[in-house]
Amino acid sequence: MSRTVLTGARILAGSSFVEGRALVIDGDRIAALVKDSDIPGDCERIALGGGDLLPGFIDCQVNGGGGVLFNDAPTVEGIKAIGAAHRRFGTTGFLPTLISDDLSVLDKAIDAVEEAIALHVPGVLGIHLEGPFLNPSRAGIHDRARIRKIDDAAVERLTRLYGGRTVVTLAPECAAPGTIKKLVSNGAVVCAGHSAATYEETNRALAEGLSGFTHLFNAMTPFTSREPGMVGAALSDLKSWCGLIADLHHVHPASIALALRTKPPEQFFLVTDAMPTVGWDKTTFMLGATPITAKDGRLTGPDGTLAGAHLDMATAVRNMIAGVGVAPEIAAAMASASPAAFLGLGAVRGRIAPGLAADLVHVNRAAGDGMDVLATWIGGVRA
Q: Supply the residues annotated as catalytic.
A: 273
Alpha helices in the chain (DSSP H): 76-87, 103-118, 152-158, 179-185, 199-208, 229-236, 253-259, 313-319, 328-334, 337-342
Q: What angle do CA 268, 271, 274 make, to 5 degrees?
A: 165
How far from 156 is each of 63, 152, 161, 329, 361, CA to CA, in Å? 23, 7, 10, 40, 37
Residue-by-residue DSSP string for 287-308: ETTEEEEEETTEEE-TT--B-S
The residues, any chain, with a CB within 8 Å of residue 189's CB and separated by 6 or more, are 165, 166, 167, 168, 211, 212, 342, 343, 344
The three-class DSSP label of residue 51 is coil
Tell me which residue of 6, 43, 60, 23 sits closest to 211, measured CA to CA.
Answer: 60
Q: What interhelical angle do 229-236 and 199-208 show, nearest 10?
A: 40
